[in-house]
Homo-oligomer: A and B are copies of this chain.
Amino acid sequence: MSELELRFALPDWVEEFLAQAPKVLPAANDRMRFVIDLARQNIRRKTGGPFAAAIFDETGHLIAPGINIVESSNCSILHAEMVAIALAQKRLRRYDISDGGKSRHELVTAAEPCAMCFGAIPWSGLSRVVCGAREEDVRGIGFDEGPKLPDWAAALESRGIQVVRDILRQENVSVLEEYLRLGGRIYNGGSHRDNT
């Protein structure tokens, strides 16, 4: 592989996980449960942090999953939301998921986006962001959410991107807590600290 090439892959278990999951999830809570299961598998199989995301079209068809692969890929930008956005754009073959406003897609994420993922959303062509755990839940187990606008949800709404919060929040918090119990690493920008 050339020095000027980037190549990333999700861990092998994701393919099997997807093969066993429904392809269409019309109910919002089912879409979030799918994301929670993905995050839980990621921590139990020790392939990453307690974060997952997925992009669905308006009828609830899964377009792309995402899990945090920062450590396994040695790449700090590969948060779950970023992976889901990039995989969805690859599948749809366009960098604007909405195709110039012709279609609406939602990002379902286990936790409210960090500063980077928040900033990536307006460029992606997503129409809606559905969040599980609150940013204070994520900070509560030691992760940093970065320097975010205090009114980040309003900033997205003002750009026509709907924000829905607290969907199955407690179930998402339970994944964060399980990660702590399993001794998962809490890594933040420029520093590492083991949760031991």
Please report A residues at the B interface, Cβ cutoff 8 Å: 2-10, 14-15, 65, 70-71, 73-77, 82-83, 85-87, 89-91, 93-98, 100-101, 114-126, 144, 146-149, 152, 155-156, 158-160, 187-192
21 sampled A-B residue pairs with Cβ under 8 A: A3-B90, A3-B91, A4-B87, A70-B95, A70-B123, A74-B90, A74-B93, A74-B95, A75-B90, A76-B95, A77-B82, A98-B190, A100-B190, A101-B190, A119-B119, A122-B189, A123-B146, A123-B188, A123-B189, A124-B189, A125-B189
Asked if A149 and B149 make an inter-chain contact with CB atoms under 8 angstroms apart, the answer reads: yes
Within the complex, the shortest CB–CB distance from A11 to chain B, in Å, comes to 9
Q: Hey, which chain B residues are within 8 Å of A115, CB to CB?
A: 118-119, 122
Give CA–CA (A152, B159) in the complex, Å: 20
Q: A123 near B159 (CB under 8 angstroms)?
A: no
Q: Which residues of B contact A10 (CB under 8 A)?
A: 4-5
A8 contacts which chain B residues (CB < 8 A)? 5-7
What is the CA–CA distance of A6 and B6 in the complex, to the nearest angstrom? 8
* A75 to B: closest C-beta gap in Å: 5
Contacts of A100 in B (CB 8 A): 190-192
User: A15's contact among B4, B14, B15, by CB below 8 Å, is which?
Assistant: B4
Given A74-B89, A75-B86, A122:B94 Cβ within 8 A: no
Report Cα–Cα, A21/B12, bound state, in Å: 40
Would A123 and B4 count as touching, CB distance under 8 A? no
Q: Nearest Cβ in chain B — how far from A148, in angstroms? A: 8
| Inter-subunit contact A122/B90 (CB<8 Å) | no
CB-CB nearest 8 A-B residue pairs: A115-B119, A116-B119, A147-B155, A122-B189, A76-B123, A123-B189, A4-B10, A5-B9
Contact pick for A114, options B76, B119, B149, B192, CB 8 Å: B119
A74 / chain B contacts, CB cutoff of 8 Å:
89-90, 93-95
